[in-house]
Structure 1
C-alpha cells in the first residue's frame, strides 16, 4: 500500500495548523541533531518560515548548516505526516510585524495572541526570520491503511 501523499495534499497538509518539529545538524561534538518544536508559516508553493531568537542554539545551528528539516504531523488517527528538508534561502534580521502577528494568531486564540504580542514586542528586534525552500519531501497518510481495521 502506497502511503505517500500527492504533491497537492502534502502542501495543503503542511500549510494547515500544526506545531512543527525542526531538525538541524549539530556539529558541536557527538550530539544527535537538534530537534525542537516550533511555530512555522507555510503557503503552498512557498517557503517554510521560522522565527527564533538570534541568540538561540537553534539560530546558531541553522546559520552554520544553511539548511534544516521540519516535520508536521497529525496527532490523532488516522495519522499523517509531512517532513520537508531544504536550504535556507533567506536569513532576515528582525521580524516583519505583519508576519509575526499572523503566526501568533495562527497558533493562539485572539485574546491570547493579543496578550502574547503585547508581552513580546522585543522579538521584533531580537529575533531572526529563517526561510527554507522545501527540496525533499517525505510523507505518509495512514487513512486508507486504518480503514482496513475499522
Structure 2
C-alpha cells in the first residue's frame, strides 16, 4: 500500500529534476481539458511557477489558464519505487514581463548554466512578447510513495 509523503518529502521530491504534467480545464469550445508537459520550479512551502508561449508562439494553455484560474500539476517518478505529487493550484500571477532571474529559476533546473541563461534572456526579450510566466498557489496536495522498504 502506498503511503502519503510528508511535507518535507514532498518539497524534496519537487526540488528534484522532473518534468511536470500540467492539466487545465477546457472552456466551452467542446475540446477536452488540456494536459501538457512543463518545466517548473517550486519553493518549499510556496508557489509553483512555469512558463509558456516560447519562441513567440501563442498557446491554448494561456487562454485556458486565464479562463479557468486554476490548474493541476502532477510530477512523477516513473521508475520503481514509484512516487508522485499532485498539486491543485489557484493561478495567482500571469507575468508577461518576468525578470530573467525568475525564468532562470526554472530553466536552470533543466539546462546547463550557459544554456539556461541564454534561454531565459532570449525569451524575456523576444519581440513577439508572447512569453508568460505563471505562478500558482497550491491549495490541495496528493502524493504517494510506493516504496515498501522499512529503511526510509
Given the two structures, how large is their TM-score scaled by the length of structure 2?
Answer: 0.84
Matches within 5 A, 1:20-39: 20-39=20-39
Aligned counterpart, 2:47: 47
What are the superposed Cα offsets for residues 11-43 of structure 1, whole Å, 9 maximum, x if unpaired? 221222211000000124433210000001111
Match status 1:103 vs 2:109? no
Distance 1:32 1:89 in 2: 24
Match status 1:138 vs 2:106? no
Q: What secondary structure is seen at the aligned counterpart in 2 of 1:133? A: strand
Aligned counterpart, 2:97: 94
Q: What secondary structure is seen at the aligned counterpart in 1 of 2:116? A: helix
Q: What secondary structure is seen at the aligned counterpart in 2 of 1:41? A: strand
Contact 2:100 / 2:121 at 8 angstroms: preserved in 1?
A: no
- Consecutive unaligned residues of structure 1, counting only runs of 5 or more, are none
**1:126 Cα deviation from its structure 2 partner:** 2.7
- For the aligned residue pairs, the C-alpha RMSD in angstroms reads 2.3
Distance 1:131 1:123 in 2: 23
Cα distance change of structure 1 residues 124 and 133 upon mapping to structure 2, 3 Å threshold:
farther
Contact 1:84 / 1:137 at 8 angstroms: preserved in 2?
A: yes
- Consecutive unaligned residues of structure 2, counting only runs of 5 or more, are none
Distance 1:118 1:87 in 2: 27
Q: What secondary structure is seen at the aligned counterpart in 2 of 1:89? A: strand
Distance 1:29 1:124 in 2: 26
Cα distance change of structure 1 residues 21 and 67 upon mapping to structure 2, 3 Å threshold:
same
Distance 1:94 1:47 in 2: 18
